[in-house]
Copies of this chain bind each other. A is one copy, B any other.
């Protein structure tokens, strides 16, 4: 199994989930993160002071899939999360050496 991990723009979560459901991937885990990268941050102004918010809100999506599905998953995420603007995010694939479903104890 592989753990496909993607950092995406927050408003793309639903699109990604739908794209994955489309070929039967019905589970994922979502984390609110903040990202630092080429996308330049927003400026907040409070009276005399400006703060450049360099850490921008992003969402991390983790999906465990069979090795056979990795390509499809990566492509699906890439397409669903794509806007073409800087800050769209990254996808990393990690190896899962072992997995288990807690309810049943069996591997996924």
B-contacting residues of A (Cβ < 8 Å)? 1-3, 6-8, 17, 26-38, 54-55, 58, 60, 64, 70, 74, 77-78, 81-103, 105, 108
Contact = CB atoms under 8 A, between A and B. Distances in A.
A38 B27 contact: yes
Contact of A100 (B17, B74, B86): B74
B98 A78 contact: no
Given A29-B58, A36-B30, A8 B102 contact: yes
B99 A96 contact: no
A90 B101 contact: yes
B93 A94 contact: no
Nearest to A91: B100
B91 A103 contact: no
21 contacts: A2-B97, A3-B94, A6-B102, A8-B102, A26-B37, A27-B36, A30-B34, A31-B31, A31-B60, A64-B90, A74-B100, A84-B103, A85-B103, A88-B102, A89-B102, A89-B103, A90-B100, A90-B108, A91-B98, A92-B98, A93-B97
